[in-house]
Amino acid sequence: MSKKSYDFEIKVSQGLSLYCPKFIVTHTGNNTSLSDISIEYNGYKTFVEAKLNGAQFGSPRIKYEDGKWQGITNNPITNTVTHILSENPHSYSFITFAKSLYKDCYYQNIIPSQAIFRDEPFGYFTYNSLRNIINIIGNQYIYKENIDKSLLNTIIEYYKYKNVDYIQIGDNLYQINDNRLSNIPTIDASVELTVRLVNRKSKKWFEIIPTLKLKDLVESEYSILLNTKKKNPFAHI
């Protein structure tokens, strides 16, 4: 997590604590299996995710093994993205070219593991081979930018999977799961997807990272951000 993202989560937590002093507000960020913020009051408990405008959604990691794209862990985002990669001509061309370039080495698999790239086991692309492929191709993209509104459902399902009830995006609050507060809108936006090889130079290994970003986001009239001028739906509970 970047410092900017962390500071934003703190700002949202501080806004809740200031405007809702009776709440127990706990910042639980930097944990991919939990929401960023939990709220407790009088037996009521709810969970909030906090995202900067322009931030990516989810923290999925992908691998290519045994002839297919797979998630490192199974969740709605990795499942959807690996299905897209399996049917996409560009990702097929990438892996076909990579295999042909190193056919004498029998490289077939890409796994984002520091141990694997250090030990260079048989059949796996090494750090240097992946770096060379990127240099030859001229970019690091496995799946180039594409905007698809249907991917919004995948993002929402991912946060439902994490038991998130609300998500704060910039100065906008949206509902994810049905909860006690009414009139909070759901997210309305298109989604831009890219998948790229990311070079972790200090560790000398690569990760395959899908990036999902919202485009043309419809604003909400609600917000829980510190110093917001919008309605805070928790303020009068």
pTM for this structure? Answer: 0.84
Q: Model confidence over 172-225: pLDDT tens digits?
A: 999 998 766 668 999 999 999 999 888 887 777 788 888 899 999 999 999 998
pLDDT band per the 50, 70, 90 thresholds, residue 115: very low
Domain ranges, residue 140: 62-147
DSSP string, 32-60: TTS-SEEEEETTEEEEEEEE-TT---S--
Q: Which of 235, 226, 221, 210 is nearest to 73 (CA)?
A: 210
CB atoms within 10 A of CB 149: 12
Q: Alpha-carbon distance 149 to 147, whole Å?
A: 7
22 φ/ψ sector (left φ>0, alpha ψ -120 to 50, else beta): alpha
Lowest mean pLDDT among 8-17, 50-59, 189-198: 50-59
Overall average pLDDT of the 23-43 stretch: 83
What is the pairing mode between strands 166-169 and 44-51? parallel
Q: Alpha-carbon distance 168 to 153, whole Å?
A: 17
pLDDT at site 1: 64
DSSP run (H or E) holding 180: none
162 domain-assigned? no
Rg (the chain; Cα; Å): 20
122 domain-assigned? yes
DSSP state of 136: H
Judge whether 92 and 68 are in contact, CB under 8 Å: no
17 domain-assigned? no
What is the pairing mode between strands 24-27 and 37-41? antiparallel
102 domain-assigned? yes
Q: Model confidence over 61-100: pLDDT tens digits?
A: 899 988 999 998 888 999 999 999 998 888 888 899 999 9
* Dihedral angle of Cα 151, 152, 158, 162, to the nearest 10 degrees: 170
Q: For the range 74-77, what are the long-range contacts, defined as Cβ-Cβ under 8 Å and sequence gap of 24 or more?
A: 75/158, 75/161, 76/154, 76/157, 76/158, 76/161, 77/154, 77/155, 77/158, 77/210, 77/212
Q: Model confidence over 118-176: pLDDT tens digits?
A: 555 678 888 888 899 999 988 889 988 778 888 999 999 999 988 899 999 999 999 99
213 domain-assigned? no
32 domain-assigned? no
pLDDT at site 114: 52
67 domain-assigned? yes
82 domain-assigned? yes
pLDDT at site 7: 87
Q: How far is CA 157 from the centre of its chain?
A: 12
Q: Alpha-carbon distance 125 to 39, whole Å?
A: 45
Domain count, the chain: 1
